[in-house]
Amino acid sequence: MDVVGKIIAALPPKSGTSQSTGKPWQVNTYVLQTNEQTPKNIAFDVFGAERVEQYNLKVGDMVTVSIDIDAHEYNGRWYNQIRAWNVVNYASAGQPAAQQTPPPTPQPGALFPQQPAPGAQAAPSAGTDQLPF
């Protein structure tokens, strides 16, 4: 699932050592505000120091985040986990911050635009009195 929006918060990183492998780990949590008519806030995790460095997210960045949503049970309670597996950061995509252009937000009916049938004549423009018969 892809989510487009603006990073509005970067929480302090968490780190530790895996009990099973003994290797160090790091996870950073960010909050994204969507570009919808009624904006939603989504907290998501970026797991791994190399990905945190690769994505280089900062508050105010316009991004598209590809996420996986999963739930796990702990002591009889269920918890959601939202983890980013890819991030496109428009601030670091080679454009100056003043010229950022996020991808267009789909409009109703834009997913399946109506195309005229092959061989059909285009509809006359508004304001013309020409009838097709």
Task: Identify the segments of the chain with pLDDT beneath 70.
Answer: 92-133
Does residue 56 fall inside a structural domain? yes
pTM (predicted TM-score):
0.66
Does residue 130 fall inside a structural domain? no
Does residue 116 fall inside a structural domain? no
Question: Which pLDDT does position 3 carry in this prediction?
Answer: 93
Question: Which pLDDT does position 72 carry in this prediction?
Answer: 92
Does residue 103 fall inside a structural domain? no
We report the CATH number of the domain holding residue 78 as 2.40.50.140
Single-letter code of the amino acid located at 35? N
Print the domain residue range for 24: 2-94
The two tokens of residue 4 are 């487009």
Q: Are 88 and 64 in contact (CB under 8 A)?
A: yes
Question: Which pLDDT does position 14 carry in this prediction?
Answer: 94
d(CA 86, CA 66): 5
Domain count within the chain? 1
Question: Which pLDDT does position 105 carry in this prediction?
Answer: 52
Q: Are 3 and 26 in contact (CB under 8 A)?
A: no
- Collapse the DSSP code of 22 into the 3-class scheme (helix H, G, I; strand E, B; otherwise coil) and give the result: coil
Does residue 133 fall inside a structural domain? no
Which residues, at least 6 apart from 15, have a Cβ–Cβ distance to it below 8 Å? 24, 25, 26, 27
